[in-house]
Structures are given as C-alpha cells and as structure tokens.
Structure 1
Amino acid sequence: MNNNLSLYNIFLAVAEAGSTLGAAKTLFISQPAVSKAISKLEASLEVSLFVRSKKGVRLTDDGLILYDRIKNAFEYIDEGESVIRERNSLGTGHIKIGVSSTLCKYILLPYLSLYTKDHPHIRISIECHSSRETTDILQQNHVDLGLIAKPDNSTLSCLSLGYMHDTFVATREYLSNMAKRNDANLMMLNKENLTRQYVDRYIPARFYEKFNLMETDNMELLIEFAKTGIGIGCVIKEFVKKELGNGLLVEYNTGLPEIEKREVCFAYSYRRMPNPHVMDFLDYVNEKKSDKRFNVLV
C-alpha cells in the first residue's frame, strides 16, 4: 500500500474509462505510462485486474473487488479534504437537511430561526420530502441530516428530540352532530405515507368501514380540514396543542386502541465523514431541545 496510491488512482481511471488510452487522456499522461502502472500494480498484488481485448479492458473478479473498495476510499479522501477546507474557510459552511413539510413547520423552523441568527455565515439548504424519501437520500449521502420519525432497524445515528402521538380530532360541533348522520368523514393520510402505515398497525379495518374515508398526502390539510368542521382527522397531537387547549378541537377515541408514541430525531449517517458544521448544529439543538419554546414534543 505504501507506494501504491498513485497506482490505485491510475487503476480507477482505467476501470472507469474502459481503456488505457481513455485513462491516459483523463490523467494527462502517456498511454505507455498507464499500461506500465497497471502491470506494476498487478505484479504487486499477484493478480490480473483486467481482461484485455482489442476493444479495451474490463475488470476481472479480483479487479471488481478492488475497484469497489478503492473507489470508496478515494471518495472518503475527497470528502475528508472538503471537510478540512470547510473547517478553515472563514466560518462559512453548508448544511443540507431533508425533512417533510409538516416536520419542517412544527419542529425544524423554531430551531432554525435562532440558529441562523447566531450563525449567519452557515448556509442551510432544506429539501422537503416524505420521511421515507428523506431516509433514502440520507443513506445515499445526498443530505447531511434528516428530520424523521426514527425508523425501525436503522443503521443511522440519531439525536432524539422527543416523542409524538398520533390521534384523531374534530370540532366539538362535528362530533355532536355525527350521531345524526350516516356519512361521517374520516380524514387520513394516504396509504403510501409512513404515518398512515404506522397508524394502520393499530387501527382495526372494521373501524374504517363506519366512515366515508377521505385521503390526502398532506397533514397540514388534515389539520385545517378538522378545524373547519369537515370531519375527523388523524393528526399528530403535538401539532394541534393550541387547538386542543382552546377547545377548537377535541380528541375522538371511541372504539380506538391507544397508538404507541413515535420517536422523532435528527438522523445522520455514522459512516460519513462528520461535517463540523452539522455536529455544531446538533450540539445547538441538543442544548435547546428541552425548552418548550423551541420543541413542541416536550
């Protein structure tokens, strides 16, 4: 390994170009120098890394194994260099956060409003996706952090913010009139949504049969529909604290089992090189998360 780093760089270029000539053009060195470097690496490892043909080269099984690992290693080196440059760049930095629009409004924004004032040189990018999509792009390293309901059996690291509770709410007037009608509305997120899938684990199918089911992909709409007296909405209790407190909404739990609370967290990949600004942001959140002014989950 000691003297092979430059050889590995040439090996990657050949594997990705599919020919020594293509690699030579990419690296701005001669084709004989590329061929000599590959031969030297193969001799060092005592294996053949490429199958040669008139059309070019392709990786052998040993070559594929080496390519996967070397590619990851070079990407990790590049990421490390980026972190070092960012750490020493006059206090500037960039944090990319994936979050659903609902969690963004009720949980992320209170933290960001203060953090951006205290750290004006840190650029924040918000990518709004469903929690499922956020988890996917987080694992693919497309974002630094994901604000999500903690997934089962996840390999992600998490900073817990607290717990949220799924509940059913409606106006008191709607519930009092419900006994007089046969077509009461039950408003839910659609079945592709992780929150809906979680709720469905607890709610028996026969419960839904009593209602006219209305579905949407946006919890904000469920809350607004419930507030305007259109029907019973399945929402996060912590997001309607004010409405439950002033009596605009009341909980409906007739014939319903208790739904287990869910943990909400800032998730990040422990395999990825830590971004110092991300870690600083998490430390900031950790200091504030017990304050009710910033965290609706406490």
Structure 2
Amino acid sequence: MDQNLSQYKIFYEVARTGNISRAARELYISQPAISKAISKLEDSLGLSLFSRSSRGVQLTPEGQVLFEHAAEAFDALNRGEQELKRIQEFDIGHLRIGVSNTLCKYVLLPYLKTFIDQYPHMKITIESQSTAQTITRLEQRKLDLGLIAEPSSRKDLSFIPVMEIQDTFVTTPTYLENLYLREGRDTNVFETGNIMLLDQSNITRTHVDEYMAEHSISPHQILEVTAMDLLIEFAKIGLGIACVIRELVQKELDSGAFIELPLQAPIHRRTIGFAYHTGNQAMALKTFLEFLY
C-alpha cells in the first residue's frame, strides 16, 4: 500500500457519510484538508473516486470498489480494537506452555488451578514434550513459558526456580528380596537387576547417565520407557529397579511400598522452574509472572 492510511480513512468517512462537511466534523479536520486528501489519493491512484454535485459526493464505480475493501479493512481494525479492549477488561490472553508429562502432572497442575481461579478467561495451550523441545521452542518464541529443569546454558532465557528434585533408584522390597535369593546378597544389583530408565532422548536420562559414568555404574540389563509415570508403575508391580524423582514417590517410600537403593553418593540434585524468553512481552506471560511473585 503506497498511500498513507489516513488518506484511506478520510476517503472511507467521506464515502460512508456522502458528505465532505459531515466527514470533516466526525474526523475533526477542516473541509479543505478533506478535499486535499481526497485529491491526493485520486491523483496517486490515477482515477476519480467521487463525482461531486451540489447535493454532496457520490462514489464512482471505481470508488465503490475501493470503498468495499476499505470498509472490510476498517471493520477488521475495529474488531481488533474491541478484542484488545475485551482482553484488558476480562484479563483474557493466550499463554502457551511447554512441559513434560511428568512435570505437568506433578508440578504444573497445582499452579494452573490457582492461576485459572484468578484468571478464568485466560486461554492456555499446553504442549506436552521433552525439555529439549521446550527449550528450543522458547528460544524460537513459539512458547511463552516452559516448566523445565534448569538448563546449563540459558542463552536468552530467564529462569524462576520453583523446587529442587532428587533422582534416585527405587524398587519394591519383594523384588529386591527375590533378586538376593537368586543372585546372592553380595550381588551388584546394577549388574544383575532389571534397571528401568527413561529413554535416551530425555534430559533426565542424560543427567542419570552422567552420574552412572562418574561412579562406574554399568547396568547390564536396561528397560527404557518414555514417561516417569510408567517407571513408577512398573516398579510398583515388581518389574525392576526404577530411577525416579524421589519427590514423586515419597508417599510410597514412607509407606514402605518402595525402598531406596543405597548409593555411593547421591545423584546431584536438580532445580525445576519456569523459563521464558527475556524478550517476550506478551501480556499473558506478564500476568503469569506477576501471579508467581
């Protein structure tokens, strides 16, 4: 569009009212300014938009074509303004969150429940995916917020800590007792037991693999799954020894349903929190950050 938008606005009002003086009153500008703007627009387009008479102005066929498009454009702008007003009045916005299934269930949901109670009109989209995918989409600004383990390199991301977590190995007393009966009590359970881990695309698995390499732990039999919930459920039925987040099975540990394997040194604790791109100025994100604080 080569013309100034104000010229189209003037054209639209003159065409809508059919009268230059009336359009001048509604736009709060002089009649000569109206006439000059219309003439400039006609000159630039190389055709007449109005036919003038003592009774006012009428659209030419070409002017009618332009008016129909201008009406659609200004109607769209008006709807946009009304939508923004509605967003401001009702705290409506669109918050896009990336999170793993595990963190969504155990950490995010309690936050969302309270947030939605305060902002019931907020639209929320949740992408269930790996932490690596969430970080990539945050950096690309395709997500507003991510609930992730604190990354070693943040680049343009800000991080708000929420909690610390501890990875650990658990199993049922029955599984461990059967393993000792079969292999002897001096057995290395990591070599003779069924060790259940998240798959290698998961950042948690990377963290655990680094720990095992550091402490020369080499499982001989590994069962890989894609979700922490499955690890917990498989451990509950006595399928093996699962590496899980202690905070997620604390109830089972307290009740004795699970026992924790003793380790030479604990696995390094990790920090879970909300991450967002520092350049993201979305109102929905600002609202959620204010809610957090």
Pairwise TM-score range, normalised by the shorter structure: 0.5 to 0.7
In 2, the alpha carbon distance for the partners of 1:143 and 1:267 equals 10
In 2, the alpha carbon distance for the partners of 1:250 and 1:261 equals 19
Q: In the TM superposition, what is the alpha-carbon distance from 1:122 to its structure 2 partner?
A: 0.7
In the superposition, the TM-score normalised over structure 1's length comes to 0.64
Moved >4 Å (runs of 4+): 83-87
Q: In the TM superposition, what is the alpha-carbon distance from 1:231 to its structure 2 partner?
A: 0.6
| Corresponding position of 1:43 | none
Q: In the TM superposition, what is the alpha-carbon distance from 1:160 to its structure 2 partner?
A: 0.7
**3-state SS in 2 of match to 1:95:** strand
The superposition leaves residues 3-42 of structure 1 with CA deviations (integer Å, 9 ceiling, x where unpaired) of xxx8xxxxxxxxxxxxxxxxxxxxxx9xx99xxxxxxxxx
The superposition leaves residues 182-232 of structure 1 with CA deviations (integer Å, 9 ceiling, x where unpaired) of 5521101112211111111111385234x4211111111001111111110
| Corresponding position of 2:218 | 208
How many residue pairs align between the two structures? 208
Moved more, 124-133 or 113-122: 113-122
In 2, the alpha carbon distance for the partners of 1:89 and 1:159 equals 28
| Identical pairs, percent | 40
**3-state SS in 2 of match to 1:220:** helix
In 2, the alpha carbon distance for the partners of 1:282 and 1:91 equals 14
Kindly indicate whether the alpha-carbon contact (under 8 Å) linking 1:173 and 1:229 is maintained by their aligned counterparts in 2. Answer: yes
**3-state SS in 1 of match to 2:148:** strand
Aligned residue type for 1:253: P
**3-state SS in 2 of match to 1:112:** helix
Change in CA separation of 1:152 and 1:270 when aligned onto 2, cut-off 3 Å? same
| Corresponding position of 2:8 | none
The equivalent position to 1:248 in structure 2, one of 257, 260, 263, is 257
The superposition leaves residues 86-130 of structure 1 with CA deviations (integer Å, 9 ceiling, x where unpaired) of 753532111110000110000000111122122111111111010
| Corresponding position of 2:136 | 136
**1:267 equivalenced with 2:275 (yes/no):** yes
Kindly indicate whether the alpha-carbon contact (under 8 Å) linking 1:87 and 1:276 is maintained by their aligned counterparts in 2. Answer: no
| Corresponding position of 2:53 | none
In 2, the alpha carbon distance for the partners of 1:237 and 1:129 equals 21
In the superposition, the TM-score normalised over structure 2's length comes to 0.65
The equivalent position to 1:191 in structure 2, one of 194, 200, 215, is 200
**3-state SS in 1 of match to 2:217:** helix
Q: In the TM superposition, what is the alpha-carbon distance from 1:241 to its structure 2 partner?
A: 1.4
Kindly indicate whether the alpha-carbon contact (under 8 Å) linking 1:100 and 1:129 is maintained by their aligned counterparts in 2. Answer: yes
In 2, the alpha carbon distance for the partners of 1:124 and 1:88 equals 16
**1:278 equivalenced with 2:285 (yes/no):** yes
Aligned residue type for 1:267: A
Structure 1 residues 106-145: aligned runs within 5 Å: 106-145=106-145
Q: Which runs of 5+ in 2 are unaligned?
A: 5-40, 46-80, 184-191
In 1, the alpha carbon distance for the partners of 2:84 and 2:268 equals 43
Aligned residue type for 1:185: N
Aligned residue type for 1:136: T
In 2, the alpha carbon distance for the partners of 1:238 and 1:137 equals 27
RMSD: 2.6
Change in CA separation of 1:283 and 1:242 when aligned onto 2, cut-off 3 Å? farther
